Amino acid sequence: MFDAVVAKKARMERLLHGAKRNPREDLVTSSLFGMLRLLTPESRQAALSVLCGHPLPSDAKIYLWPFFVGESENSEPDVVLEFMKDGQRAFWIVEVKWGAPLGADQCAREIRTVARGRCRRGGVPARERRVLGYTLLGAEAQHQKAVEDLRCTVRNGLEAVPIDGIRSLEWTTAAENLRALERGAVDAGLKSWSALSANFLAGQPQGAVLGAWPTMTMPVKGSFAFDDEERFALPPMTAVPATRYDFRENK
């Protein structure tokens, strides 16, 4: 949340005094990604891989809401990740959605401006940037067409992003993946972050999922033998007295 307030994406008076409209997407973005700066590089890499829906090759630097200016267009992606792959700098874009629709050509526009535009705000280094992936985190049915259009654009070679790098992740899937990350985590910080994030998502309609089925213990194998003439005493039964009811027909 601190990142959202510092970046003027959220206002404390709105949060504290219950204004009608809270910047939910920005608060979720800040809460999920802002805390990752406090983790170890190895844990941060694991956490970002879960949120991107794709394994990252190394630890990454996190930029929240950088603003890019391109040729006759601009964009402000929620998250831009900078990491190293094969000895070269690479970037991954994450757009966070919490029920809101995507803008016209938003996905491809963000890729173009991050790759070739000038970062006017946010501190992303200048020079050409190699974008290796784009994740729509919080995808819903209303976003399916936009994601498919982006994949079609990439297949046609209009955007220099590997087709495998176009990811669409629902909040329910993200919550399940965070649970799995928590179970396998050794680092205390990563375990706490993944548990807190999964618990938050599970408490919201967007990320509510059923928990795992309980483990069922099968009974041990056994056998019973009875003598032919063995009798089993029945508990005493109280006899029910005979009862009769007569009803008069109304005329």
3-state helix, strand, coil in the chain (%, to 5): 40, 15, 45
Q: What tens digit of pLDDT does each residue of 199-242 get?
A: 888 877 765 555 555 567 777 877 777 677 766 677 777 887 88
Place of tokens 């069922």: 216
Q: What tens digit of pLDDT does each residue of 96-134 get?
A: 998 889 988 899 999 999 999 999 999 999 888 999 999
Which residues does residue 135 pair with via DSSP β-bridges, in sequence order?
Answer: 94, 167
Q: What tens digit of pLDDT does each residue of 52-81 get?
A: 999 999 999 999 999 999 989 999 999 999
Sign of CA dihedral 166, 39, 33, 190: positive
Q: Where are the domains of the chain?
A: 2-202
